[in-house]
Structure 1
Amino acid sequence: MTDVRAQTLLFGSLCQLVAYAIQASAPPFPAFVMAYAINGVGLALQDAQANGFVATLQSHAEAKMGILHAAYGCGAFASPLVSTQFAQLPRWSFHFLTSLGVAISNTILLVLVFKLKGQDECLRQAGEIVPERTTENEQGTFKTVMRTKAVHLLAVFILIYVGVEVTIGGWIVSFIIEVRGGGPSSGYISSGFFGGLTIGRVVLLWVNKKVGERRVLFIYSILSIALEITVWFVPSLIQNAVAVSIVGVLLGPMYPIAMNQASRILPRWILTGSIGWIAGFGQAGSALLPFMTGAIAANHGIKSLQPLLVAMMAFMMVLWALVPTARRPD
């Protein structure tokens, strides 16, 4: 983070404060939608900067990336638990006060830890070796990022991945209620999925290292597709809940693996910018695929969720096969 990037990170956190404050008041629907848009901007800015920072680390980068995204999984695991409780109360919107409290803590920590310092300065204080930047590199960063094919392949891969993750985490509850006859506690299945996501990003680190991150992602994809097919065809509430949780475990490592791959194949001087584009573009998947799911479900029913997920997971495998394997130039 140059000083501008540090300020961008802080601005993203402040966007979330504003969004949650609006939502907690249960405003009219248009204002509620606007607040979600503000929240999305804040989340995308922080996601891009955090991934870019961790991707530049040299020591145990894979493990640190896994831990970073496991922290995301922890939040996603806790959120359905909290929202399910608030959904049963008259002032359901007070759920967003919990999110507001987390956002306030996040803002305070960002200021205390980074102190609005530049990325290179923070890396040097952490004992990292930071290559010198040239004026030519600085001026040509964005142009080079946009011309690098691997960046766009990874961006589309992350877009599909995030879309699959958010679609499962959100729409699986509707599927369980409408197709499997689940009750009000079906929201806990979403927590099971995100809990599995968190576990997978930490517990499977040794598997990723032993098998190889590129190869293991294909294995996780095949197993996830197989499990999703069982959710599609096996009419068992318990089996579906367990299968969804295991799918979470298998999908969990994929995002950090993709970010690690970017750090291997891209030149370091465009890495932060590339990660920012990949993460920011990929975040659109959290809106695109759930929207597609809703549109398809409106015409064909929520049963269409499973074939859509299977198709998207298969598409992820194709994209991953196209991502280069060559080591990044020095």
Structure 2
Amino acid sequence: MATQVDSLSSPTTTEKSAFYDTKLRVDNDETTVAVFTSQNTPATTPGREIEEYQLTELPAARVSSNVVSVVGSDVPTPSLEDLKRARRAEYIGFAALMFCYFLEGWNDGTNGPMLPAIQAHYKIKFAILALVYITNACGFITGAFANIYLSQKLGFGKTLLVGALFQLVAYVLQAPAPPYPLFAMAYLFSGFGLALQNSQAMVFTVSLRNSSTKMGIIQACYGFGAFVSPLVATQFSGMRRWSYHYLISMGGAVFNIIFLTLAFRLQNLDVILVKAGQVVRESGTSKDNLYSQIMGLKVVHLLAFFALAYVGVEFTLAGMSPICSFSAIHTNFDFYLGWIVTFIIDKRHGGPSSGYISSGFFAGMTLGRVGLLWLNKLVGERRVIWLYLSICLGLDVVIWVVPSLIGNGVAVSFIGLFLGPIFPIIMNRTAKLVPHWLISGSVGWITGLGISGSAVLPLVTGAMSDRLGISSLHPLVVSVLCVMAGLWLAIPGGDPHRSE
């Protein structure tokens, strides 16, 4: 339904906030909020037609008295203190999710350096060692689907807390180095918990002002965690009490629980967004369940397979995986690093220090997610993907044909730099192409299918390397990058549901 809103006076401060153009109506049995924001249109535009969105979970008592009024009465200008309070709530919530993503990167970056210690302690073969990746992927995919149900039943804040608790349980199980079946099963808990936190963090981030910039920042926190964690885990992997590394992870998980609880107070997303001065979006009217609605969206599946190819390229080049052990190359160091390190050692005659090339890849990825934000805005997110894919394809061909150890190492870092911004853009496109009430579940499905690429493509690379040699890595990567270009061409370029 639509209504007419009288012109509202702008605050004297230069601060920008959704409070500028907000008016609440309190009925006898429900609270509705009428919101519109326009950073380019003056707030004093008279007769602006807006939408009324249902907010059944927002009692009037929870809204500041100086921004609530009965329809027909004057709406007081929000004070500077109200604006500061809203901005502070936004910053605290975003900071909590930044640490949440850092801890996710820390978790993923831990696996590679710890694999030698895990294998030596349990005296197991590589095929059994690979169970940690299988259980982690199963947990993540299960969490991605469970997120849709839990979001409906528990809401944003409680679902985040459940995810953080599952992550803590995983580290509690791993720290004492229990029997291997239980140790591997712990990855099921961590994958499940990370999937819940991942989806909820994305739906909050895309609801904020300047969401594209904030998406790049929060994804960079993941890359920074993945970069720092191996530096610490490597020190523990050579110790007799190697599993004590998970005590550090446990401490981070405890802090994560406290931070998330204090920042969001187990509240639903609409309540949190109103407190942060953000726009509250509409709810769906379809009678179909959310699973059916999400699976019925073609664009979600296109983005999911694009994410699968992207994650597959990332892990094939520099991801840490025991699948490398299937290679016919018997260098101890390269068992635990990406295939690009195997290629450098075998074809470019690199030494054990070649492993740092993998760190250079992730450092480039972290830098790219923040440092190239200006280019994303200048060129446009849809067009800039073509630029990034073209550069990465060219750099991989350089590694393939130019026999230079240093040159190849630099090229790998630059591939990480230009691959880095792609995943945040995937999330931004999801927010623009998917109805708001389906974003959380859609992100879960996209990331859940994407994480399977971390196992599928390295496995294919290993099989090809056994038959054709490690040089087959680059034709495969070039082919997958071309597939990504084809998928991106099929993804709509419009913005039918929302604008930033």
Cα distance change of structure 1 residues 255 and 299 upon mapping to structure 2, 3 Å threshold: same
Question: What is the 5 A alignment of 1:25-44?
Answer: 25-44=176-195
Verify the 8 A CA contact 2:283 2:436 in the aligned structure 1: no
Deviation at 1:204, TM superposition (A): 0.4
**Bigger mean CA offset, 111-120 vs 247-256:** 111-120
Deviation at 1:327, TM superposition (A): 1.8
Verify the 8 A CA contact 1:193 1:245 in the aligned structure 2: yes
| d(CA) in 2 for partners of 1:29, 1:298 | 29
Report the counterpart of residue 119 of structure 1 in structure 2. 269
Report the counterpart of residue 246 of structure 1 in structure 2. 414
| d(CA) in 2 for partners of 1:325, 1:71 | 27
Residue 164 (structure 1) aligned with residue 328 (structure 2): no
Work out which of the residue numbers 79, 97, 101 in structure 1 matches 2:251: 101
| d(CA) in 2 for partners of 1:29, 1:181 | 36
Cα distance change of structure 1 residues 7 and 175 upon mapping to structure 2, 3 Å threshold: farther
**Bigger mean CA offset, 192-201 vs 79-88:** 79-88
Report the counterpart of residue 164 of structure 2 in structure 1. 13
| d(CA) in 1 for partners of 2:419, 2:232 | 23
Deviation at 1:51, TM superposition (A): 1.3
Give the gaps of 5 or more residues in structure 2.
Answer: 1-150, 320-337
Work out which of the residue numbers 108, 122, 128 in structure 1 matches 2:278: 128
Amino acid at match of 2:218: L
Larger Rg: 2
Report the counterpart of residue 398 of structure 2 in structure 1. 230
Measured against aligned partners, the alpha-carbon deviations of 1:90-110 in whole angstroms (never above 9, x if no partner) come to: 444433333333333222221
Cα distance change of structure 1 residues 218 and 75 upon mapping to structure 2, 3 Å threshold: same
Cα distance change of structure 1 residues 6 and 106 upon mapping to structure 2, 3 Å threshold: same
Cα distance change of structure 1 residues 239 and 98 upon mapping to structure 2, 3 Å threshold: farther
Pick the structure with more helix per residue: 1
Question: What is the 5 A alignment of 1:83-232?
Answer: 83-133=233-283, 136-137=285-286, 140-170=289-319, 171=338, 172-232=340-400
Cα distance change of structure 1 residues 88 and 238 upon mapping to structure 2, 3 Å threshold: farther
| d(CA) in 2 for partners of 1:19, 1:291 | 26
Report the counterpart of residue 127 of structure 2 in structure 1. none
| d(CA) in 2 for partners of 1:295, 1:41 | 29
Work out which of the residue numbers 280, 297, 306 in structure 1 matches 2:474: 306
**Bigger mean CA offset, 236-245 vs 148-157:** 236-245
Amino acid at match of 2:377: K
Instruction: Report % sequence identity.
Output: 51
Pick the structure with more strand per residue: 2
| d(CA) in 2 for partners of 1:301, 1:93 | 36
Verify the 8 A CA contact 1:220 1:251 in the aligned structure 2: yes
**Bigger mean CA offset, 206-215 vs 116-125:** 116-125
Amino acid at match of 1:251: L
**Bigger mean CA offset, 155-164 vs 305-314:** 305-314
Residue 73 (structure 1) aligned with residue 223 (structure 2): yes
Deviation at 1:14, TM superposition (A): 2.2
Measured against aligned partners, the alpha-carbon deviations of 1:224-262 in whole angstroms (never above 9, x if no partner) come to: 011112222333322222111111110011011111112
Deviation at 1:196, TM superposition (A): 0.7
Measured against aligned partners, the alpha-carbon deviations of 1:257-307 in whole angstroms (never above 9, x if no partner) come to: 111112222222322332232222222222322333334344444443333
| d(CA) in 2 for partners of 1:127, 1:258 | 26
Work out which of the residue numbers 171, 191, 207 in structure 2 matches 1:56: 207
Deviation at 1:219, TM superposition (A): 0.6
Cα distance change of structure 1 residues 132 and 317 upon mapping to structure 2, 3 Å threshold: closer
Residue 320 (structure 1) aligned with residue 470 (structure 2): no
Deviation at 1:140, TM superposition (A): 4.1
| d(CA) in 1 for partners of 2:415, 2:245 | 27
Verify the 8 A CA contact 2:282 2:436 in the aligned structure 1: no
Give the gaps of 5 or more residues in structure 1.
Answer: none
| d(CA) in 2 for partners of 1:141, 1:325 | 24
Cα distance change of structure 1 residues 103 and 167 upon mapping to structure 2, 3 Å threshold: farther
| d(CA) in 1 for partners of 2:480, 2:182 | 32
Amino acid at match of 2:310: Y
Aligned residues: 328
Cα distance change of structure 1 residues 237 and 26 upon mapping to structure 2, 3 Å threshold: farther
Cα distance change of structure 1 residues 130 and 138 upon mapping to structure 2, 3 Å threshold: farther
Cα distance change of structure 1 residues 42 and 233 upon mapping to structure 2, 3 Å threshold: farther
Measured against aligned partners, the alpha-carbon deviations of 1:189-246 in whole angstroms (never above 9, x if no partner) come to: 2221111111101110010100111111111001101111222233332222211111
| d(CA) in 1 for partners of 2:354, 2:310 | 23
Amino acid at match of 1:157: F
| d(CA) in 2 for partners of 1:250, 1:305 | 19
| d(CA) in 1 for partners of 2:193, 2:450 | 14
**Bigger mean CA offset, 156-165 vs 200-209:** 156-165
Cα distance change of structure 1 residues 95 and 240 upon mapping to structure 2, 3 Å threshold: farther
